[in-house]
Amino acid sequence: MQRDWGRFNGIGMTSARTRARMVARLREQGIRDETVLTAMNAVPRHIFVEESLASRAYEDTPLPIGHGQTISQPWVVARMTELARQGKRLQNVLEIGSGSGYQTAVLALVADHVYTVERIGALVAKARRHLRELNLTNVAIMHGDGSAAMETSLQADAIVVTAGATLLPEALLMHLDVGGRMVVPLAVEGSSELQRLTVIERTANGFKEQTLEAVRFVPLLPGTA
């Protein structure tokens, strides 16, 4: 699919050149998946943050998006996408926590279909507006509780959870295909804020778990708002 996003290139700290520098930094930080790096270079991150923060959009830091939520730092977005992809084109991706839609947009460039769930109605509207601006038609957004069992028969080859879970969200595992991966920040024992990226892979014989880098996410909360 052709992307005509040149009109979103700003100037100065929102320019395509600044975004290219962000991608170069991601390479230096160990992101190796060129498909993911291409997606990160394509998506104009500055449209997913408040206008007053646009000049900081390509810094390697999370930024507030309102309602007590944040847009994840670029390295985290790239790393989670890389772990979910495991070097192959994704068909169906389930994302828990749409936020303002940035991670969703990156996933939409590396997957055939993205199904994303957000518990905060105002953020659902914001994400829909941003994704519509980019004409990303392979995304479906639902306002709902992503921490609970969902009334859908969706089977995904990747699940990306963009909020910190105290316990493994087992209700989501029923949506994971054999050979698929769930990437989730799981709480570190004894800490209320720190998590580690955790990969749960579904095999023919059950589930395998791998614990990776330390991260810091807002908590995965039940219910809707």
Instruction: Write down the pLDDT at residue 87.
Output: 94
Instruction: Write down the pLDDT at residue 156.
Output: 96
Reported in sequence order, the residue ranges of the chain that DSSP labels E, i.e. its strands, are 63-66, 69-71, 90-96, 111-118, 139-143, 156-161, 176-187, 194-203, 206-216
Residue 198 lies in a domain: yes
Tens of pLDDT, residue by residue over 72-118, are: 999 999 999 999 999 998 999 999 999 999 999 999 999 999 999 99
Domains identified in the chain, total number: 1
Residue 224 lies in a domain: no
Give the H/E segment covering residue 23. helix 16-28
Instruction: Write down the pLDDT at residue 189.
Output: 81
Range of the domain at 81: 6-216
Tell me the backbone φ, ψ of residue 177, rounded to 5 degrees.
Answer: -70, 155
Burial zone of 181 (CB within 10 Å; 0-12 exposed, 13-18 middle, 19+ buried): buried
Contact between residue 179 and residue 153 where contact means Cβ atoms under 8 Å apart: no
For residue 1, pLDDT over 50 is answered with no
Domain of residue 123, CATH code: 3.40.50.150
Instruction: Determine if the pTM surpasses 0.75.
Output: yes
Helix 102-110 / helix 74-85 crossing angle, nearest 10 deg: 30
Give the mean pLDDT of 53-75. 96
Enzyme catalytic residues: 72
pLDDT mean across residues, the chain = 93
Give the mean pLDDT of 28-53. 96
Residue 67 lies in a domain: yes
CA separation, residue 55 to residues 49, 50, 123 (Å): 10, 10, 21
Residue 95 lies in a domain: yes
Residue 88 lies in a domain: yes
| CA atoms of 118 and 121, how far apart (whole Å) | 7
Residue 38 lies in a domain: yes
Residue 145 lies in a domain: yes
DSSP lists the bridge partners of residue 217 as none
Residue 155 lies in a domain: yes
For residue 2, pLDDT over 70 is answered with no
Split at pLDDT 50, 70, 90, the class of 20 is very high
Give the mean pLDDT of 6-27. 91
